[in-house]
Every structure is written in structure tokens, then in C-alpha cells.
Structure 1
Amino acid sequence: MLLEIHPEHPQPRYIARVVECLRQGGIIAYPTDTTYGIGCSIFNKKGIERIYQMKRREHKKPFSFICPNISEIARYCRVSNMAYKILKRYLPGPYTFVLDATRDVPDLLVTRQKTVGIRIPDNRICIEIVQLLGNPIVTTSANLSGEEPCGDPRSIEDVFGHQLDIIVDGGLLSTDVSSVVSLVRDTPEVLRAGLGDVSWCS
């Protein structure tokens, strides 16, 4: 089901509707500051498994998740002084930062190295959803694994159909992906160059 939400002034009743869907175990597609993402609550184990299946994605590739603010990141990740300064400078923005996970992160989202990827996109719709929900949501690009990300909500509906409970239509977006930067060690390491500038890592 497509649900149009204003990108600059998200309607509270629609945000509440999406959050209720997530609380009931639903899976949604939603806009970020790069392209569209697919997600569910990070505590929805069945939902996470469903996303793996619908994307045809290997389980050895854990999903990242979206937090509403840096304080929330500190609950789920170990944040050094160096990492905190970087997070404060570049978030919200088109970055996924990899950090050591705490025990609060569900096992399905943790890598073998006990790390996790986190995002705070510069997008009002998805941030308001996460804030009202009260916990992070999974984030992975809205596409089948190995294919191009999708920035058109109607194309997402064509690909995934009724596998998604709600497709939040926040307008047409790019097909860009976030830059992925590891902050596990003292020196930032670029794992993927995307929309976010990574020249500061060198």
C-alpha cells in the first residue's frame, strides 16, 4: 500500500500509522537522504528474516539500522571520543558508520567481528518514524540483492508488491547509496564511497 507523506512537513497521523504498522510486526519501504530503504523494527526477528528472503540476500551480510540521534547510537554502539566527534560533525547525513556493537543489538544485525552499521539520515520522514517508534529500524536499500537501488516508490511496489505492508511515498529520490566508514579503530577507514564525501578520511 502506497502512503504519501509530505517530505518537509510529514503528517503526524500518517507517521503514527506507519509506526503502528511497525509495532505490529510490519515491514515498510521509506525514504532516506540517499535512496529508498526497506526496514522493520530491529527487534522484529521474523521481519528481519522476511527482508532477507524478499531481497534474496545472504545472511552473512547483516543489515544496518537507523537511529534518531547520537545519544541513541551510544546505546547500541561503543563510541570513542574520536568517533563521537566524527558522528557529531557528519550526522545527520548520507553515511553509514561501522562501530563495535553493544549487547543491546540483536544478533541478526551483528557481524562476525561484533560490529554494526548505523545511520542518521537527513530525512524528516524516516527520523520522525524512528523517534515515535522508540527504537531503531533496519535499513537496507529497496532492491533485490545485486540490482540497482530504487528511488521511485511505484517501482518498489512493482518489485515487492504485497511483501511490504506500507510503502511510504516521500517523492522521487536518487539511486545513490550512503558512504560506509568504519570507526572501529582510531583512523577512519572507508569501506564504500557513496554520496557522502569521504575525502576527510584520508
Structure 2
Amino acid sequence: MTFQEDINKAVECLRNGGIILYPTDTVWGIGCDATNAEAVRKIYDLKRRAESKSMLVLVDSEGALDRIVDDVPEVAWQLIEAAVDPLTIIYDHPHNVAGNLLAPDGSLGIRITGERYSQELCRRLRRPLVSTSANISGEKTSGIFNDISDDIKNGVDYIASYRRDENSAPSPSNIIKVSDGGLIKVIR
């Protein structure tokens, strides 16, 4: 299957409310259209994860970030520009996403992805993409495709073909919370 055929099938699944297993700029992720609350619920159910534990989303560009966060603090732009490794920033009061994605305090982690597959998914979907680790909640995070449990593989509607054969496990992203007032807190 070609890269474009793989992307086309994944995007079709996402547009139809499905959940996918796909490579990201960090670990393999479970994803869905971040504006579809029912699809988000399917991921919580698959992961056996409490909805009080929010999940993050990926976007493909700074413009896409601006569509979710009204006023991105200047310090967040500086962190994004300076980041060498993937960086997830938790923002206060995002919008244009499913309500069940938000943390109890109303915040959401968002990462601008530069990885080819996840970036193209976001571009083609034209919406933010949920990205949560491909594991049952509380179990070890799987960095490479072959280590992902059959429960997860059998529980999604589509599995990307791209990068399945890689054997090096990337690290999860760094996570920083940037509050509306510019206060910074390093989470991971």
C-alpha cells in the first residue's frame, strides 16, 4: 500500500467517526477526530481510561493551533520555536474540540506535529487529531508497533501501514503547562 492510499483510508475512517492506530512524532498513538465526542468516548472505552484523565491532540501547524486556542501566550510560541524534541503544551480554555477531551480544569494538551504521517492526517482531516498512547490505561506504553497489545490492535477501526517495521522506540513528548497569565509548569 502506498503512503497516500494509507492516508486516504485513515482519513476516511476518521471522518466516519472511527478510531485509528497510527505512528506519531513520539510513540504509536490511538487517534480520532478531536471534534467528535462519540469517537473520543470510544478511545476512553478501548483504553479503559477514566474520562477525568484528558488526552492530548495533534495539529499540523501554528494556524491550526490558533483555531483551538484563542490567545496563545507569547511564552508558548517561544517554547515551540526553541523545542528540539516533541513538545506538548497544555493550554487553558481551548475550544473547537469535543468537551470530553478536556481535563477537569478545562485545559488541553496540544502538540504541533512535524512527523510526516500524523501531520498529513491533520492536514487532510482539517481538524485536530486525538493522540494517546497505544496501551490499556496503566499498562506499559508501546513505542514500537510490534509491542502493541492485540487488545488495542483489535479494538481500533483502522491500523496504519506506515512505519510498522521500525524497531527503535521513540520517547514520549515533553509536557509543559502554560497558563493564561504566562505561568509555566513543567509536567514531564
Verify same fold: TM over 0.5.
Answer: yes
Take 2:68 and 2:15, find their aligned partners in 1: how far apart are those partners?
Answer: 20
Residue 145 of structure 1 is aligned with which of 130, 137, 143?
A: 137
**Unaligned 5+ residue runs, structure 1?**
6-10, 193-202
Post-superposition CA distance 1:158-184 (Å, at most 9, x none): 232331111214133415211110111
Which letter does structure 1 place at the counterpart of 2:12?
E
Q: Does structure 2 conserve the Cα–Cα contact (< 8 Å) formed by 1:70 and 1:87?
A: no
What is the match of residue 86 of structure 1?
A: 79
**d(CA) in 1 for partners of 2:186 and 2:53?**
17
Equivalence for 1:177: 172
AA paired with 1:65?
V
The equivalent of 1:163 in structure 2 is 155
SS of 1:20 mapped into structure 2: helix
Q: Which runs of 5+ in 2 are unaligned?
A: none
Deviates more, 1:152-161 or 1:13-22: 152-161
Secondary structure (helix, strand or coil) at the match of 2:66 reads helix
Residue number among 39, 42, 46 corresponding to 1:50 in the alignment: 42
* Conservation of the 8 A alpha-carbon contact between 1:68 and 1:120: yes
Q: Match of 1:62?
A: 54
Deviation at 1:126, TM superposition (A): 0.7
The separation in 1 between residues aligned to 2:55 and 2:10, in whole angstroms, is 20
Q: How many residue pairs get matched?
A: 183
1:54–1:144 CA contact under 8 A, matched in 2: yes
Q: TM-score, normalised by structure 1?
A: 0.82
- 1:157 to partner: Cα distance: 5.6
Aligned to 2:28: 36
8 Å CA contact 1:149–1:175 kept in 2: the answer is no
Cα distance in 1 for residues equivalent to 2:115 and 2:152? 23
SS, match of residue 101 in structure 1? coil
AA aligned opposite 2:187: L
Opposite residue 185 of structure 2, the aligned amino acid is E
Identical counterparts, % of pairs = 32
Residue of structure 2 in register with 1:8 after alignment: none
Instruction: Return the letter of the residue paired with 2:5.
Output: R
Indicate if the aligned counterparts of 1:153 and 1:168 stay in contact, CA closer than 8 A: no
Deviates more, 1:152-161 or 1:121-130: 152-161
Match of 1:188 in 2: 184
Provide Cα deviations, 1:11-39, integer angstroms capped at 9, x if missing partner.
Answer: 22221111011111111011112210101
Q: Distance in 1 between matches of 2:148 and 2:19?
A: 13
Q: Secondary structure of 1:48's partner?
A: helix
Query: For the residues of structure 2 that align with 1:190 and 1:59, how far apart are their CA atoms?
Result: 23
Please state how far the C-alpha of 1:107 moved relative to its aligned partner. 1.1
The separation in 1 between residues aligned to 2:152 and 2:33, in whole angstroms, is: 19
- The offset of 1:102, in angstroms, is 3.2
